[in-house]
Chain A
Amino acid sequence: MIEAEDIHYSYPNKVEALKGVSITIKDGEFVAIMGQNGAGKSTFIKHFNGLLKPTQGRVKVDGVDTTKTSVASLARNVGFVFQNPDHQLFSETVEEEISFALKNFCFDKKIIEDRVTWALELLSINQYRKTSPFLLSGGERKRVALASVLAWDPQTLILDEPTIGQDHEQKEKLRQFIMQMKAQKKTIVIVTHDVEFVAECNPRVILMKDGKIIADGIGTAILTDPVMLELSSIVLPQIAEVFTKLGALGLPKNIIDIYEAKALLLKVRERLNK
């Protein structure tokens, strides 16, 4: 559970990146934060594991005020995956990278082995176990970064742009994994520009602009609101875009799911055939 109360944050160069943001994210919630480059998304989520402390306001993670604890002690419960995997990877092999945190948390040797294997398989990088992360492709490095955090099974997971460089199959796996985490009452927050991925997951969506939250609601509502999306420099998902253009047919506009779209269109055809 994450609670942010009217937080403000200014960088040392006086740029005010957050201008009063409040939010409550409950256990078992899956939230996607979206918005223009420079809207404050990354600054915001860095408050969730204490990497940044608010200049004003308060952030509590599982009831603990982040100013009253350290990043290291928060880390056990909050996993954070950076936008750019190269900011995170440092080990000589993929296996070492993934076991690093587990060793630091003093897990049993056998458990470490099991967890590493589990994470490698989950992210389809088992064949690279002994390879240097720096020899892998951009998409694969991103998966190593994800695996290294998923391996210790944190209660809260913060992922900055998890789908960058991922192909369709990997995105689908990630979606299924997030849904499993959600079912286990874990908290998942992603920052993403990937409209189609968000449309497929249909999570709670938060739009940010100029250091503030400008919209907060279910995916089907937010992702089909052309005005709010444009303010956030986001384009409509393709299905929603198709439906906004079918106005003359009297169809609902808040459609993002492809199967729902198909069913509706078949119904229209049936009606017209009568």
Chain B
Amino acid sequence: MALIDIKNLTYTYPGASKPSVYDVTIKIEKGEFVLITGPSGCGKTTLCRCFNGLIPHFYQGEIKGEVTVAGINTFERHTYEMAKHVGLVFQNPENQLFALSVEKDVAFGLENNAVDREEMRKKVDWALNQTGIYEIRERSPHEISGGQQQRVAIASVLAMEPEIIVLDEPTSFLDPLSAQKIFDVIYRLNKEQGITVILVEHRLDLTAKYTDHLILMDQGTIRLEGDPREILNKEETRLIGVGIPKATLLYQLLKKEGFQLGGKIPLSSDELAEQLLEALEHR
């Protein structure tokens, strides 16, 4: 069975007139790096809340279908039981942080799981270092910048070393280089430790290169799913309003002019530059 198995999920928030997620079916295997994208308001965040049971337990509302995560039916079990399996980094870090110091926030999940002190110290320091916030560990999470708060939110999830990490636009307040470093850390955890990653992002320029499983949502449904190179090369994807990486767009423009470019559809500037050098140098 797939690690995450969602069947015909339809969900409507309390008081909403129509469902935010409609008839969604997804299978995600262990160790995948999944990227979910789609226009603003298409249901990405709502879907994230289903992975750890926040929907339906916290948000209530009307839910149909089936959500099984790590073999557990999320409709039947509490969110705190899911927390061992799924770590969720919220879009707005302020909704997640509450402790008096950064390190206490990062340690909170481990404390709840009664991890022993030395072990906890090690894990917290590791997470603080991975996200580059070791220096500010004694500050209050409410007096640091939005970008730093996002790092704290990510660190507190990393410290738990969950099987699945769900990140909802986790670096939107971060400068591009810091964002890239965070994505690199997450990618490494995915490749080296086999942690399954589900990332929600609009900025495919920064993130398309990490994934081999792209899910494109629109108006609460899944419009396209699969190989990111194929999906990002489709006219339909552009029409839905997805920001295609500039390297991919330039490749398409050149192809239309009959430019001979070999190999796969590029997702990053590295890949495109390589193809261009190949095509133009060896003549």
Contact = CB atoms under 8 A, between A and B. Distances in A.
Do A and B truly interact? yes
Contact of B243 (A167, A249, A262, A266): A167
With most chain A CB atoms within 10 A of its CB, the pick from B203, B246, B279 is B246
B148 A37 contact: yes
Given A233-B175, A234-B176, 8 more contacts: A37-B173, A164-B169, A165-B202, A167-B243, A237-B246, A239-B250, A245-B273, A246-B277
Contacts of A88: none
Interface of A: 13, 34-38, 42, 83-84, 86, 135-140, 143, 161, 164-171, 193-196, 199, 230, 232-239, 241-242, 245-246, 248-249, 258-259, 261-262, 265-266, 268-269, 272
B237 to A, nearest CB: 10
Contact of A193 (B94, B175, B202, B257): B175
Nearest to B91: A138
A139 B217 CA distance: 15
A167 B38 contact: yes
B243 A238 contact: no
Secondary structure dominating the interface of A: helix
B83 interface: no
Interface in B115-143: 143
B193 interface: no
Given A136-B41, A242-B250, A265-B254, A195 B176 contact: yes
Nearest to A172: B241
Contact of A139 (B41, B179, B249, B253): B41
A124 to B, nearest CB: 9
B145 A37 contact: yes
B257 A140 contact: no
18 contacts: A34-B175, A86-B94, A137-B45, A140-B40, A165-B40, A165-B169, A165-B172, A167-B38, A168-B242, A171-B243, A194-B203, A195-B176, A230-B177, A239-B250, A249-B276, A249-B281, A265-B280, A266-B254
A227 to B, nearest CB: 13
A233 B147 CA distance: 13
B243 A265 contact: no
Contacts of A83: 146, 173
Interface stretch (B3-11, B66-74, B264-272): B264-272
A59 to B, nearest CB: 22
Given A238-B247, A258-B253, A167 B175 contact: no
**Those 10 A-B pairs whose CB atoms lie nearest each other, nearest first:** A139-B40, A37-B147, A245-B273, A168-B243, A241-B269, A169-B241, A238-B246, A233-B177, A233-B175, A167-B39
A245 B269 contact: yes
B45 A35 contact: no
Nearest to A273: B283
Nearest to B95: A86
Contacts of A245: 269-270, 273-274, 277
A143 B39 CA distance: 13
| B38, B175, B283: most-surrounded residue (chain A CB, <10 A) | B175
Contacts of A169: 39, 241
Given A165-B169, A248-B277, A170 B176 contact: no
B16 to A, nearest CB: 7
Contacts of A196: 203, 205, 243, 246
Interface string B143-156: 10111100000000
Contacts of B41: 136-137, 139-140
Contacts of B169: 138, 164-165
Given A167-B243, A168-B242, A272 B283 contact: yes
A272 B278 CA distance: 13
Q: Which of A37, A42, A239 has the most CB of B within 10 A?
A: A37
Given A161-B173, A235-B176, A248 B202 contact: no
A239 B269 CA distance: 7
B178 interface: yes
B247 to A, nearest CB: 5
A261 B252 CA distance: 12
B13 interface: yes
A135 B241 contact: no
A85 B45 CA distance: 16
Contact of A167 (B145, B241, B246): B241
A234 B175 contact: yes
Nearest to A234: B176
A84 B148 contact: no
A119 B143 CA distance: 33
A87 to B, nearest CB: 9
A215 to B, nearest CB: 15
